[in-house]
Chain A
Amino acid sequence: MNWYDILFYAFALITVVSAAGVVLSRNIVYAAFSLLFTFFGVAALYVLLSADFLAITQILLYVGGVLVLIVFGVMLTNRANKVEVKHGGLTLAPAVLVAGVIAGTLIGVLTTTKWPAASFEPYEETARPLGALLMTQFVLPFELASVLLLVALVGAVIIARREKARRV
């Protein structure tokens, strides 16, 4: 076992344990916190795979953007830290079904895919080829995704505005 393996298992452990924390925590603030470590763990795994651009984007967007908004929302909600998140109960059967199907699919893919073991060449620049691909081969999906985000943004503004008008 070399350093690479030790680091991989350490980060994998952090990711999985904190992900469990997100799902199992009864305090919504702690759940949001655990998500922080999950995102970091995933970013670290990207770094180990030499996907530096992806790793830093993960931190920039998910930790620095999405999660800040979640924490923001949790803090603004009145007494959110006292709300107990309920688990189990009625939703248990469908949850087990859905999780089982997804787990089955993933395990199936894992076992049937032939994993090509690429030669280990760390620290190649990935930002430039990614940018070039986004602007040439994948320009349509890229633009579609940005239009989708714009639609979501406009929709959010409309919903927020309408509620305000009704109250007046």
Chain B
Amino acid sequence: MIAIEALIKIVVLVVIILTIVAYLVLLERKISAYMQDRIGPNRVGPKGLFQPLADVLKLVLKEMIVPAKANKFIHALAPVISITVAVGALAVIPFANYIVIGGQKISLLIANVNIGVLYILALSSLGVYGITLSGWASNNKYSLLGGLRSSAQMISYELSLGLSLVGVLMIDGTLQLDKITMAQSGGLWNIIYQPIGFLVFVTAAFAETNRLPFDLPEAEPELVGGYHTEYSGMRWGLFFLSEYTNMIVSSALMVTLYFGGWSLPFVNYSALGANLAALVQFVTFFAKLGILIFVFMWVRWTLPRFRYDQLMNVGWKIMLPLAILNLLGTGAVMLALK
């Protein structure tokens, strides 16, 4: 019974997320177009709304070219690792509290593990494999350089990412994401207690998702296409999907940790009844998610790319000390208030 319930939740969630991802691509193209005073895609369907369908069809039907000297097995494996890791992280994110069907409480969380935050950190540390291995297996110098850059970048920013989170964990005293949401639902959101931690987290999240201004692994003018230079068809599509899914995961994590998750301040959910409350929470969560994803895109089309040494300087000499200071400050204040 538990297995069937989990399976249904997984299928529903993956379908929802992949649909969102397809439309995020359209959204990004529209936003970039408006920022550059263009119109953007508007040929397929009304106002270009069917563009994602056309894109997916194109990707599925295209030939997947494998270079002659590539390592065939790893070349095929790398995009699979990327997308698995990205989608897997969604399992522990609480999108709403619970619904009641036939008198049974069903939590809207696929896996309620005790160590949800660590689980997401562990998965994000695995994301580097997809990129590094694709770069190596392609047997192409640009791919390899892109893959190596990405490894260095992700290892450097993982530290600040992890350390910046610890402040939130100290305040709420748990690693469970639904308990962190619960702790915020009555009072203030964590961003008010942890502004510096949030800043470091956002920066590190941009670096971990390889988005501008930190998209050095695929810097087009220097590296052709970076790690996915030698990929085409649906294998390239999987890298694309995982980039956008990673963006959703990072934003969802930010919503949960810093912006109160599915909760809204001053709303009494018990008056609504469980199912209606769940719907409101669901919509709330996705509204917050949408705003953060918009920030991701906004930043991408606003800031220029960092140079490699600047990237490393920011990571090790600014972000890491800031994260450690934030940690010490949080500890000191908590001790003083005790």
Is A76 among interface residues, defined by CB-CB distance under 8 A? Answer: yes
Chain A: interface residue total (CB-CB under 8 A): 23
**Given A64-B158, A75-B136, A75-B144, A56:B122 Cβ within 8 A:** yes
A71 to B125 alpha-carbon distance, docked (Å): 14
Query: A68 touching B144 by the CB < 8 A rule?
Result: no
Interface residues of B (CB under 8 A from A): 71, 74, 113-115, 118-119, 121-122, 125-126, 128-129, 132-133, 136, 144, 147-148, 151, 155, 158, 175
Task: Tell me if B147 and A123 are in contact (CB < 8 A).
Answer: no
Q: In the complex, A160→B78 CA distance in Å?
A: 32
Can you name 12 A-B residue pairings with CB atoms under 8 Å?
Answer: A29-B136, A56-B122, A59-B125, A60-B118, A64-B158, A65-B125, A65-B155, A68-B128, A68-B155, A71-B151, A75-B147, A127-B118
Shortest beta-carbon distance from A153 to chain B in Å: 13
Q: Is the CB of A53 within 8 A of B118?
A: yes
B118 and A75 contact, CB distance less than 8 A? no
Q: Which B residues are CB-close (under 8 A) to A33?
A: 74
The residues of A that contact B133 with a CB separation of less than 8 Å are 71
Interface residues of A in 136-157 (CB under 8 A from B): none
Q: Are A60 and B155 in contact (CB under 8 A)?
A: no
A36-B122 Cα distance, complex, nearest whole Å: 14
Q: Nearest Cβ in chain A — how far from B154, in angstroms?
A: 8
Closest CB of chain B to A51's CB: distance in Å?
A: 11
Which residues on A sit within 8 Å (CB–CB) of B118?
Answer: 53, 56-57, 60, 127
A65 to B118, CA, bound (A): 14
> Residue A72 at the B interface, CB < 8 A?
yes
Q: Once the chains bind, are B132 and A68 in contact (CB under 8 Å)?
A: yes
Q: Which residue of B lies closest to A71 (CB)?
A: B132
Q: Once the chains are docked, how many angstroms separate the CA of A75 from the CA of B138?
A: 12
Which residues of chain A are within 8 angstroms of B119 by Cβ–Cβ distance? Answer: 56
